[in-house]
Amino acid sequence: MAYTEKTTTSYGKKVGNSFKGIFTGIIFFLLGTIALFWNEGNFVKTKKALNEGQGIVVELKDNSTVKDEFNGKFVHSSGLADTKDSLTDVFLGVKDLAIGLHRKVEYYQWVEKSKSEKKQKLGGGEETITTYTYQREWTSAPVNSDNFKDAAYKGKNFVLAQVENKSVYAENVSFGAYKLPEFIIHSIQEEVPVNVQMSEEEIKNLDSKLNKKQYATINSIEQTSNLSNIIHIHNHVTYLGNNTSNPQVGDVRITLVKTPPTTISVLAKVNGNTFEPFLAKNGKTISQVAQGTVNAENMFASAHSSNSMLTWAFRLVGFVLVFVGFRSMFGFLETIFRFIPFLSNLIGSGLNIILLGLGLGWSLLIISISWLFYRPFIAIILIGIAIGLIFLLKRKTTAPKKVVSA
């Protein structure tokens, strides 16, 4: 069932808040500008570092022995990442030979979701109608229900046991005759299920730690004696709850996976019998890990692609921050006319169009200025586009003068 909450904000308070928004807008504007400038510099530095590495990388085809002639060189190599270390998950009583052992936990909880609708009132005030809905779903962490808006759902969340997500890694992972450093070990992505087999004693010990009484109360289970079989183990999933096919609030689902010995490809600098990131002349570091046997050309292509995608993502973030900043700074122009809804809406729509263009123009200008330090030719082209956008925007927003004939 939905729960509705209505709040009213007076015209005076709206105007006051809009002027306060100017300071918030300045902060967003500055953050966006800084992000845009930094992002372009980071893109070029990363690209130059990758190009530098691509030009000097050498193939370490045979890693079965440590070769002195490769020491200090930036290499590409493929081979088996192997270990003899056994890793332990104490909570589930599992011990297995692996490069990494990962425990992933989910909780079945009530989740509050809200949707707001704003309506302008006569006199410039505003009424906000917020509708809260509640549904049960699996979450990555327990949800605090004490602050739920609907009293019927307050305090309804509970977990049978709070178990932390945890990853443990082997300390000794070989790559032929070489030893893999921590940053490469943590970058190996392959995961396979790990079957859980708990002894009767371990199951009883875990069962004794579960708060069945509160679980039964919340889920309207008549007697805690009906919860005698509350721990269910199926392959790599350990389920804490009364019925795996009918989840109840408080149920916990634990999945255990491992990173087994596996073939990987690396781009890194040789340091004795191990590896370290390659430090380019501009101070950027390079290291790459790929699953399976992947040649150097494809690994560099993937790195360049990732650099481009990350750059475009930050460009979008920077532009949004700049636009939000402008909108917060000039939002008072719309707010002061709230007592005339039609005029306020018209001003708001106009502001969105103008500030969208201004935000785009400013973003291009900052990108261009940044590129002046790295790619002057491209910067000149971008500055021209930015100036053109601002000029066109100015022409469209300036009312034409009427010519009166004699």
Over residues 57-92, the pLDDT tens digits come to 999 999 999 999 999 999 999 999 999 999 999 889
- Residues 256 and 229 occupy one common structural domain: yes
Would residue 312 count as lying in a domain? yes
Q: Is the pLDDT at 225 greater than 80, yes or no? A: no
Same domain, 270 and 213: yes
Domain contains 402? no
More confident residue, 93 or 296: 296
Residue 201 main-chain phi, psi, to 5 deg: -65, -40
Query: Could you give the number of structural domains in the chain?
Result: 2
Predicted local confidence at residue 297, as pLDDT: 96
Residues 42, 153, single domain; the answer is: no
For residues 328 and 21, is the Cβ–Cβ distance under 8 A? yes
At residue 325's C-alpha, the angle toward residues 321 and 330, to 5°, is 155
The residue whose two tokens read 């088996």 is 80
289 and 389 fall within a common domain: no
Cα distance between residue 395 and residue 388, in whole Å: 11
- Domain check: are 185 and 76 in the same one? yes
My answer on whether 285 and 315 are in the same domain is no
Give the separation between CA 49 and CA 278, rounded to whole angstroms: 9
The one-letter amino acid code at 11 reads Y
pLDDT recorded at residue 199 = 87
Residue 2 lies in a domain: no
CA neighbor of 252 nearest in space, from 137, 112, 91, 105 = 105
**Number of C-beta neighbours around residue 155 at 10 A:** 12
Which residues are 175's β-sheet partners?
81, 178
Residue 382 is assigned to a structural domain of this protein: yes
CA distance 23 to 60: 56
Q: Could you tell me if 93 and 71 lie in one domain?
A: yes
DSSP character for 402? P
Residue 230 has pLDDT above 70, yes or no: yes
Q: Does residue 238 lie in a domain region?
A: yes
Is 404 domain-assigned? no
Q: Which residue range(s) make up the domain with 335?
A: 10-51+303-397
Q: In sequence order, which residues have a C-beta less than 8 Å from that of residue 199 and are 6 or more positions away? A: 93
**Higher model confidence: residue 76 or residue 16?**
76
Q: Which of 294, 328, 349 is the last residue of a domain?
A: 294
- DSSP state, residue 371: H
| Residue 406 within any structural domain of the chain | no
Domain limit, last residue, from 240, 269, 294: 294
Three-state secondary structure call for residue 115: strand
**How far is residue 13's CA from residue 74's CA, in Å, rounded to a whole number?**
62
Please state, in angstroms and rounded to a whole number, the distance separating the CA atoms of residues 36 and 34.
Answer: 5
Residues 27 and 79 in one domain: no
Q: Which of 251, 275, 294 is the last residue of a domain?
A: 294
The DSSP H or E segment spanning 18 is helix 11-56
Residue 367: which pLDDT band, with cuts at 50, 70 and 90? confident
Give the tokens for residue 391: 């000029």
CA distance 103 to 226: 28
Q: Do 222 and 317 lie in a common domain? A: no
Residues 282 and 378 in one domain: no
Give the pair of three-digit tokens for residue 184. 């490469």
What is the average per-residue pLDDT within 128-148?
93
State the pTM of this model: 0.80
On whether both 210 and 326 belong to a single domain, the answer is no
Percentage of the residues of the chain whose pLDDT score is greater than 70: 86
Output the pLDDT for position 287. Answer: 96
Stretch 199-210: mean pLDDT: 88
18 and 135 part of one domain: no
